Amino acid sequence: MTRVHADAAKRRPQGVKAGLSLSDILSAASSIAPEDLTMQAVANRLGVDRKAVNHHVSDRETLLRLVASEAFARSFATVTIPAESDWREASRIYGYGIAAAVAALGSLAGHVRVSRSTDALLLAATEAVLAKLVEAGFDLETGMRAVAMLSDICDTYGQGVALTTTGGAGMRDQWLHEVLRELPEENPRYLSEAARSWTNTYDARQLDVSIEIFVRGLEGLAPA
Domain 71-219 CATH assignment equals 1.10.357.10 = yes
Q: Which residues contact residue 110 at a Cβ distance below 8 angstroms, ignoring those fewer than 6 apart?
A: 159, 162, 163
Has this prediction a pTM greater than 0.75? yes
Polymer length in residues for the chain: 224
d(CA 48, CA 57): 14
pLDDT of residue 14: 46
pLDDT of residue 174: 73
Q: For residue 186, give the 3-state DSSP assignment.
A: coil
pLDDT of residue 8: 39
H helices of the chain, in order, are: 3-10, 22-30, 39-46, 50-54, 60-76, 87-103, 116-135, 140-165, 172-181, 189-197, 204-219
* CATH 1.10.357.10 domain locations along the chain: 71-219
Residue 63: HSE in the Cβ half-sphere, 13 Å Cα cutoff: 29
Report phi then psi at 111, rounded to 5: -105, -10
pLDDT tens, the chain, 224 aa long:
444 334 334 444 444 445 788 889 999 999 998 889 999 999 999 999 999 999 999 999 999 999 998 889 888 988 999 999 999 999 999 999 999 999 999 888 888 776 555 677 788 999 999 999 999 999 999 999 999 999 999 999 999 898 887 665 556 667 777 787 777 766 788 888 877 777 788 889 999 999 999 999 999 999 87
d(CA 134, CA 122): 18
Q: Is 209 exposed, middle or buried (0-12, 13-18, 19+ CB in 10 A)?
A: exposed
